[in-house]
Structure 1
Amino acid sequence: MEAERLARAALTRVVEPGDERAGAWLRRVGAVELLRVLRTEDGAAERLPGMTAVRLEGYRLRAAATDPARDLAAVAALGGRLVCPGDREWPTQLDDLGDARPVALWVRGRPDLRLWALRSVAVVGARACTPYGAHMAATLGAGLAERGWVVVSGAAFGVDGAAHRGVLAVGGATAAVLACGVDVPYPRGHAELIGRVARQGLVVAELPPGGHPTRARFVLRNRVIAALTRGTVVVEAEYRSGSLVTARQAQRLGRFVMGVPGPATSGLSAGVHELLRGEGVLVTEASEVAELIGEIGDLAPDRRGPVLPRDRLDPIAARVLDALPYDGLTRIRELARGAGASADETLGRLYELHSLGFVEREGDGWRLTRSSPRDRAVRRGGS
């Protein structure tokens, strides 16, 4: 088992994240044998289908420079560890990635990655987000954390950082999945934030200590975020966005995909709106996310407008009120005809409406009071 762990630690320096060809070889021959073949070139053509001389040379250059014991010691000095498939802490939902599954994961932080992943949701979005996007991400992060959910994101500027900060502000659980080593604070401007996440939650990476980010590694990192969580919420995203890559990967894996709508005129919300026209579900707050991805009983509160005084009237009283003209006096017989009620019923309802402040009497006639609730509703454009 120790040989397997050392081999997988070494392979995280040799194999690029998401390399499905290497993943197939790993599944075929195992980590120890794959590393041996890549180091010695012995039996590469026979044992590793699709291996070419050029590709093998690239792997061999990397394999020759590996020192897995040093990497394991480096991450241990940070209070971290290497989590491998088959370990008790390995989140088995990552196996849904097939041959694109991570070789292993480098982890900083004390919580159990597998247990946290069981009740986790990703909140992702634009780096150059608007104040609205930052507010929604932070609010969602805090609300989900208060409901016992682990919020996973990528520690990038914009929506990612706002989601992490929202969770940290309420003392909740959050995990950052990086496109570099767990000891590399990237972006540099988020060094303090990543440190806080490592102390309060988890920092996770496929790359070994010292690994640097590249454009391709950012894109491939998103598949881990999608697979690790039960659902992905996109707050703001343009048509071409890494956040939409995460959402589409989540869709392919059968995870829930959600989007927070923005202004129809905002280019930063255009990608989210396109997502919502397809398989995405519109959400506006944490309770709606929890209702979609949670267990039975995680229900969002019913949405309804304010209750107006008129809403409490019985049907006949409402018809009598509607029969009163906006201006002027009306007699009982005319009101009864307009309301479709008898004169006695109409008179009884008028006294009820009078006690509620809707109408007033003048001689034998009745009219709306100048401050009638119906009058105010009409002025606001209501009914």
Structure 2
Amino acid sequence: MMDALLRDAEVRAAARFARPDDDPAQTLARVAWSVIAEPGDGVAGALIAQLGAVEALRVALDDSRFALSDRVIGEAQRRWRPRARLRAVEESLRGAKEMGAQLVLPGDPAWPESLDDLDEHAPVLLWVRGDVGRLIMTERVSIVGARAASAYGESVASEFAGDLAASGALIVSGGAYGIDGAAHRAALGVGGGTVAFLAGGVDRAYPAGHQQLFERIQASGAMVSELPCGAAPTKWRFLARNRLIAALGMATVVVEAGWRSGSLNTAGHAASLGRPLGAVPGPVTSAASAGCHRLLREYDARCVTSTAEVRELLGWDARLGGEGAGDGTGGAGRIDPDQIRLLDAMSTRTARSCTELARIAGLSDERVRALLGLLSLDGRVGDDGAGWRLRPG
């Protein structure tokens, strides 16, 4: 695929337009990886780290050059290859050009080095609409929480985000309804910086009701995704997106979250990265705060009730404000990401074959067949002869 990309004049031209000063091979290899691998694919990350993006792509897709017997690599090849299409790479670059999206690669001046803490799960590139300079602001706080937020939760998120942004901090969140939206709006309201990480391409406003908010973020902040333009948001991609929110922030504050809120997934990533983690307490009778109380009780989160305590969490007292979170599933519990990706690829109305499901979900045929067997036993999916469908209910 790599050699074919370099021979294709249209694809090379698109790569040069996206990054005039860069080696087209590096640009195209990174874009190709964003097309064939799901976000956070550790095998892809390890292969790229060892061989570089160009040679790793050749290893992944070119049987004539390499005969890899390693089980992990072989499994990965079987999920990457169904997506390896030249047109998909060209369409990604064309979509970015039409949207005015910029391409940021590791090593670029605008690349946020904190994402490298994710090691092999770091993104292979970032597509950005807006001010790429926001990604490397010195002080960064991730504020996340429930989509179905209460007035109390939105008020606290607005207070925290507005105060911190006014003091020069970048507010990082996920662009969702509820706490995320309140945090973004408050940062914009004081003329501060904010970044929204999306679970689909930067050309897709999701949720649709935040179209105007995203336009405001694009105008004075940044909308960011590791997925190419046109990519649809799915449950698995929301969960994968959460690791970027946690990694970019120097701390994560969960303002309001239910017992199984996706914000707990973001908190788990922050804890695993060694980032300070704060949680806002709520009424003990409020289901909307049960997840925050769970973080305080079970996950060593610090109780934060004011922006002063957020600054204290990070040791920012002398530098900021001195004299002058979701979507996803499962919370902090263990989940099977492959199963989520497969369910995302299925429909109650449209029957799909194992091969088609493997391509959409980014899994191998063998893995899809095994998962379908388990899901069938649970009654969650069924084969009606025309193909596999989700069962209603």
Range class of TM-score, shorter chain = 0.7 to 0.9
Q: Is the 8 A contact 1:72 1:81 kept in 2?
A: no
Structure 2 CA distance, aligned partners of 1:25 and 1:66? 24
Paired position in structure 2 for 1:36: 58
**1:162 counterpart SS class:** helix
Paired position in structure 2 for 1:136: 156
Residue deviations 1:236-267 (CA, integer Å, cap 9, x gap): 11121211111111111111101111001111
Letter in 2 for 1:26: I
Paired position in structure 2 for 1:328: none
Count of paired positions? 299
Residue deviations 1:152-181 (CA, integer Å, cap 9, x gap): 000011111111111111121110000000
Q: Once structures 1 and 2 are overlaid, which stretch shifts more, 150-159 or 29-38? A: 29-38
Paired position in structure 2 for 1:50: 72
Q: Is the 8 A contact 2:199 2:225 kept in 1?
A: yes
1:223 aligns with 2:243: yes
**1:167 counterpart SS class:** helix
- Which runs of structure 2 are paired with 1:187-198 in the superposition (5 Å)? 187-198=207-218
Paired position in structure 2 for 1:96: 117
CA RMSD of aligned residues (A): 2.0
Letter in 1 for 2:36: V
1:20 aligns with 2:42: yes
**2:284 counterpart SS class:** coil
Q: Is the 8 A contact 1:159 1:236 kept in 2?
A: yes
Give the structure-1-normalised TM-score. Answer: 0.73
Paired position in structure 1 for 2:381: none
Structure 1 CA distance, aligned partners of 2:90 and 2:70? 26
**Matching residue within 106, 111, 114 for 2:127:** 106
Runs ≥4 residues deviating over 6 A: none
1:280 Cα shift? 1.0
Paired position in structure 1 for 2:384: none
Letter in 2 for 1:136: V
Q: Is the 8 A contact 2:256 2:291 kept in 1?
A: yes
**1:151 counterpart SS class:** strand
Q: Is the 8 A contact 1:236 1:260 kept in 2?
A: yes
Q: Is the 8 A contact 2:165 2:192 kept in 1?
A: yes
Paired position in structure 1 for 2:334: none
**1:244 counterpart SS class:** helix
- Which runs of structure 2 are paired with 1:56-205 in the superposition (5 Å)? 56-116=77-137, 118-205=138-225
Structure 1 CA distance, aligned partners of 2:164 and 2:93? 34
Structure 2 CA distance, aligned partners of 1:69 and 1:249? 33
Paired position in structure 2 for 1:378: none
**Matching residue within 287, 290, 293 for 1:270:** 290
Q: Is the 8 A contact 1:226 1:246 kept in 2?
A: yes
Q: Is the 8 A contact 2:146 2:263 kept in 1?
A: yes
1:182 Cα shift? 0.6
1:120/1:217 CA distance change after superposition, 3 Å: same
1:124 Cα shift? 0.1
Residue deviations 1:53-99 (CA, integer Å, cap 9, x gap): x6434312211245434423432333321111111211111111111
More RCO (CA 8 Å, sep 6+): 2
Identical amino acids, percent of aligned pairs: 46
1:5 Cα shift? 1.4
**1:112 counterpart SS class:** helix
**1:51 counterpart SS class:** helix
Gaps of 5+ in 2: 1-22, 323-393
**Matching residue within 11, 15, 18 for 2:33:** 11
1:184/1:299 CA distance change after superposition, 3 Å: closer
**Matching residue within 232, 256, 264 for 1:236:** 256
Structure 1 CA distance, aligned partners of 2:287 and 2:66? 49
Structure 1 CA distance, aligned partners of 2:210 and 2:72? 41
Gaps of 5+ in 1: 302-383
1:40 Cα shift? 2.9
Q: Is the 8 A contact 1:126 1:243 kept in 2?
A: yes
1:150 Cα shift? 0.5
Q: Is the 8 A contact 1:257 1:280 kept in 2?
A: yes
1:236/1:296 CA distance change after superposition, 3 Å: closer
1:214 Cα shift? 0.8
Structure 2 CA distance, aligned partners of 1:294 and 1:70? 45
Structure 2 CA distance, aligned partners of 1:155 and 1:48? 40
Paired position in structure 2 for 1:245: 265
Larger Rg: 1
Paired position in structure 1 for 2:387: none
Structure 2 CA distance, aligned partners of 1:104 and 1:291? 33
Structure 2 CA distance, aligned partners of 1:294 and 1:78? 39
Give the structure-2-normalised TM-score. Answer: 0.72
1:296 Cα shift? 5.4
**2:64 counterpart SS class:** coil
Letter in 1 for 2:295: L
Structure 2 CA distance, aligned partners of 1:252 and 1:97? 10
